[in-house]
């Protein structure tokens, strides 16, 4: 059994970029939680409508089932906003998540990153609602995203090794 690592934080904080590089470095498959959203959720976000807890519930339950399967098989790195503690409890219903990596950073830095993305459904104007909804956990590996991608990933690997 390999580790299951969830990279969490608001849109634009670097979950996918960090997750992809971490996946290569640790040789664990990477999954982007956004790819599991139903079409209705994506359409809402494209037109600046924040998702409700009701919208998110089927998505979170689907991810939770996948996490259980990944834990039993090859492990996984999952990029998922996991903004609220109630969402994290659903995701980790059977305690399969080994590490939570909480990405955080300056609002303007994250807003600028979102604004520069091409072909992504997340509108930069929804960042404020995500920050307002974020319940920062008092557990996990808290990582500031102001450094370079390799620096961020090196820090995560170092922290995982010291916690193992």
> What is the rounded end-to-end Cα distance, in angstroms, of the chain?
14
Give pLDDT tens digits for 104-123.
998 888 878 777 766 555 55
Q: Would you tell me how many other CB atoms lie within 10 Å of the CB of residue 70?
A: 23
- pTM exceeds 0.85 for this model: yes
Residues 119, 90 contacting (CB under 8 angstroms): no
Give pLDDT tens digits for 27-36.
999 999 989 9
123-141: average pLDDT: 82
């Amino acid at each position: 059994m390999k580790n299951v690592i969830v990279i969490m934080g608001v849109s634009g904080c670097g979950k996918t970029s960090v997750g992809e590089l971490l996946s290569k470095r640790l040789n664990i498959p990477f999954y982007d939680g956004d790819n599991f959203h139903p079409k209705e959720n994506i359409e809402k976000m494209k037109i600046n409508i924040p998702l409700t807890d009701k919208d998110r519930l089927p998505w979170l339950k689907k991810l939770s089932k996948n996490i259980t399967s990944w834990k039993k098989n090859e492990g996984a790195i999952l990029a998922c906003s996991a903004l609220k503690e109630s969402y994290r409890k659903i995701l980790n219903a059977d305690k399969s998540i080994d590490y939570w990596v909480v990405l955080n950073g300056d609002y303007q830095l994250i807003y600028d990153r979102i604004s520069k993305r091409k072909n992504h459904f997340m509108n930069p104007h929804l960042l404020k609602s995500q920050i307002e909804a974020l319940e920062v956990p008092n557990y996990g590996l808290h990582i500031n995203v102001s450094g370079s991608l390799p620096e961020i990933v090196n820090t995560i690997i170092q922290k995982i090794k010291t916690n193992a």
